[in-house]
Amino acid sequence: MSTITQDAMPRVMEERSLTLRSSAGPFLSREQILDATDACFAQAGYDGTTIRAIAAKLDCSVGSIYRYFRDKRDLLLACGRRMMRPVLTEPTFERSLGLYMAIADRGREIYRLQFWLAGEGLPDYIGQIIDHWSELLADRDEAKHRWALLHGLLMLGCDPAQIPEMMGREVGASQRGLREPFWRSESAEDMTLL
């Protein structure tokens, strides 16, 4: 049994602390993990990205990622949630809608995949966006209608430059009491928008 003098104890504890810190690596935040995940998704796509690849990019163990996220699907949904966060701060519906369109278009693969992976439900942040739009429009049903229309057009791959006009025509028709959506119109002009 070895004896450690009182003077040597602080030095031994400090050395142990340094050893533990260096082997454990730096403490990672959720944001750092999401940054690395975004970079991996951009480089290799969703299918080509693994938790191990994200960990390698961060120079950490896979356990460090699993500390915050259950799996790759959870990472994708968190990236989508973070990607859309700025939409909730826009003061007008038009600006919020425009930002939503730009973000969804820029991150098309992530946008589409998160809805596919969500199954029958919607990613949780969509409810927050609809709540925000409800406040801006003072009408929850209208906010839901506009989100559904926008989402459908984005998922169909419509040109984002044409979406505001398409939505404006649909919203105008519904405000006039017409229930027939513009994309079912017989007009050749309407068909060219698609």
Question: Which of the four pLDDT bands, split at 50, 70 and 90, describes residue 4?
Answer: very low
Asked if 37 and 54 touch (Cβ cutoff 8 Å), the reply is yes
Residue 153 and residue 97: Cα distance in Å, rounded? 13
* 131 has pLDDT over 90: yes
d(CA 47, CA 170): 36
The answer to whether the beta carbons of residues 147 and 155 sit under 8 Å apart is: no
Distance, in Å, from the CA atom of 98 to the CA atom of 100, rounded to the nearest integer, reads: 5
User: What is the pLDDT at residue 172?
Assistant: 52
pLDDT digits (tens, 9 = 90+) for 27-81: 899 999 999 999 999 999 999 999 999 999 999 999 999 999 999 999 999 999 9
Q: pLDDT exceeding 90 applies to what percent of the chain?
A: 57
85-112 confidence digits (pLDDT tens): 999 999 999 999 999 999 999 988 889 9
Cα–Cα distance for residue pair 154/80, rounded to 1 Å: 15
* Superfamily of domain 14-69, CATH level 4: Homeodomain-like (1.10.10.60)
pLDDT value at residue 166 = 87
How far is the C-alpha of 163 from the C-alpha of 134, rounded, in Å? 20
Query: At residue 171, does pLDDT exceed 90?
Result: no
pTM (two decimals): 0.71
pLDDT at 41: 94
- Residue from 151, 86, 140 nearest 116 by CA: 151
Residue-range domain boundaries for the chain: 14-69, 79-192
Helix axes 93-106, 124-137, angle to 10 degrees: 150
Q: How confident is the model at residue 7 (pLDDT cuts 50, 70, 90)?
A: low
Confidence of residue 119 (pLDDT cuts 50, 70, 90): confident
